[in-house]
Chain A
Amino acid sequence: AQSVAQPEDQVKVAEGNPLTVKCTYSVSGNPYLFWYVQYPNRGLQFLLKYITGDNLVKGSYGFEAEFNKSQTSFHLKKPSALVSDSALYFCAVRAPRSNDYKLSFGAGTTVTVRA
């Protein structure tokens, strides 16, 4: 079975400060990992993904995430947060089985960036 844990329901930071949203995963084999963001009353938007290669993945809107196999983590980071980054963030994982494209999503982390 595959699963994702987002240990923090909420993260609050001041604008201009670094932002980190935590994610740990459980899956058989090497994982495919994703981050999505959801703004109020909108669908989820893809931010970035890790499939293979460099452990540091860069994505949209200045976000990046680091894959750490030994810690089974894939934390999302942004060096300098903006008020407009306030949203709900989801981490997702799937196992690299050829005929199974299901993603398992975490419960989500609400990010609030205060001005």
Chain B
Amino acid sequence: DARVTQTPRHKVTEMGQEVTMRCQPILGHNTVFWYRQTMMQGLELLAYFRNRAPLDDSGMPKDRFSAEMPDATLATLKIQPSEPRDSAVYFCASGLVIGGTDTQYFGPGTRLTVL
């Protein structure tokens, strides 16, 4: 049963520290998405990739967030420096484009707490 995996599942850090979240998309999928979920804002798209190329990162605070796909099996989301307002659950999702569309499959999320 293929799944999207994310590490770590939980992260507690202090303001100003660097945070790196990792995602392993489902093997063979060619789109990868990063979302953030909070009670106040709901589910927000931060960035996404197709065939490892960044297509849209307009939802991401550029001064502190960065998203990369160093290879087809790994996507990373970094926050430097982290702030308390970054506390949220971060989800990665992957999909395979077939017939012009894909279905996104979500990982279990990384729950980030910035103190």
Binding site for B on A (CB under 8 A): 32, 34, 36, 42-46, 49, 51, 90, 94, 96, 98-103, 105, 107-108
Given contacts A43-B91, A101-B55, A102-B56, contact A107 B104 (CB under 8 A): no
Contact B45 A101 (CB under 8 A): no
Least distance between A110 CB and chain B CB atoms (Å): 12
Residues of B within 8 A of A98 (CB): 100
Least distance between A23 CB and chain B CB atoms (Å): 14
Contact B45 A43 (CB under 8 A): no
Least distance between B104 CB and chain A CB atoms (Å): 7
Q: Is B109 interfacial (CB-CB < 8 Å)?
A: yes
* Bound Cα distance A108, B56 (Å): 24
Q: Is B54 interfacial (CB-CB < 8 Å)?
A: no
User: What are 19 pairs between A and B in contact, CB < 8 Å?
Assistant: A32-B101, A34-B104, A36-B106, A42-B108, A43-B4, A43-B106, A44-B91, A46-B103, A46-B104, A96-B101, A98-B100, A100-B55, A101-B31, A101-B33, A101-B95, A101-B102, A102-B45, A103-B45, A105-B42
Partner of A90, one of B43, B93, B108: B43
Given contacts A43-B91, A90-B43, A108-B42, contact A101 B50 (CB under 8 A): yes
Given contacts A42-B108, A108-B42, contact A102 B48 (CB under 8 A): yes
Partner of B106, one of A44, A96, A101: A44
